Amino acid sequence: MTMPFVVPRGPELEPATWPAYGLTSLTVVPLVWRRRAPVTVLLAILATSALYKLAVEGPGQPLPYTGLVIVYTIAAQSPPRARLATVLLMTVAVPGSVWINSRTARELTFSLFVFAAAYVFGRLTDARQRAHRMEAERAAARERARIAREMHDILSHAVSLMIVQAEAGPVAVRTAPERAEAAFDVISETGRDAMAQLRRMLGVLREDGEGQEGPSARAPQPGLAELPELLDRVRAGGLDVVYGTDGAVRSLPEATAATVFRIVQESLTNTVRHAAARTAAVQLTYGDDHLEVRVTDDGRGVLVGAGGHGLVGVRERAAAHGGTAVAGPGPDGRGFEVRARIPLAGTRSVTARTRVAR
């Protein structure tokens, strides 16, 4: 509609008029509200288009871009009832417009095709958006499960050690005061460590960083370097723990190392809480393409009361890396054993040795 006012039309064609130009431009204005009231906008566009054709002497039929846009919008964003009403309305409006304009099968076929294509593209957009929302929800659910596992491992381990030391404290006060003092030191150290890990986790979750205490709030997850400290805390609680490695020791990715740490932590927590064991052994065996984690104890064998999320979390952590985890009676049916196998890819060998530490 703009070109007739820039380049004069031939004398055999109808002249362009300002009312026709203004009415055609008015057809575009309702698109501003297409997301708020798409069906109403569609009706407004059809009304202005019909008024242009029937009441204004204009130079031909305006292009149906506005109609295509609103049909696409309704197909992409409106509920089924609105979409059905739009389809029924367009099956009447499109043939009617062709009848008024040229009454040719060619124009009818073309118009039906382009409006159907706009509707199909709108439905495809809606399907893609739904898929993205579902994936975002699944990702959020996975993240909630991961945070729940982290919180469980941190609190369960710390509280279990503090309970054991607190129960032994009164007896130690009467019989061996120096042991009671050591027990209270373990309780204090364990509590501070748990609080530090919780603050670090909550600091990562805060978007604005409020309440974080410097770079340590976003420090890496604990890994194999922190295992000796973990074992020392467990030993201080009265459980004798032996730690050993076998095979070519490797530098593991941060996520894998954190998973190994949490598996060992949860396994020892179950031992402290439920096994009534005196000794436990932690063994890391490095294979060519996998790492095997074994935690065994000499306790009662069946972890009474261990039906919570701990061992489930161990399996979930191993599965997140494509591995497996099993738990059951230890060697020769004595004690209890947790064994996890985690695939390794692209890790670098540090040394090949067998090490046992207490």
CA atoms 21, 25, 26, 27: torsion sign: positive
Q: Which DSSP string do the residues of 147-164 spell out, in sequence order?
A: HHHHHHHHHHHHHHHHHH
Contacts of 147 (CB under 8 A, 6+ apart): 201, 205
Q: What angle do CA 112, 114, 120 make, to 5 degrees?
A: 100
Rounded CA-CA distance 339/295 in Å is 7
Contacts of 327 (CB under 8 A, 6+ apart): 311, 314, 336, 337, 338, 339
Phi, psi at residue 144, to the nearest 5°? Answer: -60, -40
CA-based nearest residue to 233, from 203, 198, 201, 261: 261
CA distances (Å), 271 to each of 27, 76, 229, 265, 281, in order?
75, 56, 17, 10, 11
pLDDT in single tens digits along all 358 residues of the chain? 445 555 565 666 666 666 766 777 777 888 888 888 898 888 888 887 777 777 665 555 455 688 889 999 999 999 999 999 999 988 988 888 888 777 888 888 988 898 999 999 999 999 999 999 999 888 888 877 777 777 777 777 777 777 776 766 676 667 777 666 777 777 777 777 777 777 766 665 665 444 444 444 445 578 898 899 889 888 887 889 999 999 888 888 888 898 899 899 888 888 888 888 889 999 999 998 899 999 999 887 755 444 445 677 788 888 888 899 998 888 877 889 999 999 987 555 544 444 445 5
Residue for token pair 């031939």: 10
b/e per residue 258-285 (b: at least 16 CB within 10 A): bbbbbbbbbbbbbbbbbbebeebbbbbb
pLDDT at 352: 43
Which CATH class name applies to 224-358? alpha beta
Give me the residue spans of the domains in the chain: 3-103, 224-358
Rounded CA-CA distance 314/319 in Å is 9
Start-to-end Cα distance in the chain:
88
pLDDT at 16: 64
Q: Which DSSP string do the residues of 89-118 spell out, in sequence order?
A: HHHHHHHHHHHHHT--HHHHHHHHHHHHHH
CA-based nearest residue to 153, from 24, 265, 236: 265
253 three-class SS: coil
Q: Which residue blocks in the chain are alpha helix, DSSP H?
A: 3-6, 18-28, 38-55, 65-77, 80-101, 105-175, 177-205, 227-236, 254-270, 310-320
Rounded CA-CA distance 123/345 in Å is 42
pLDDT at 58: 53
pLDDT at 215: 45
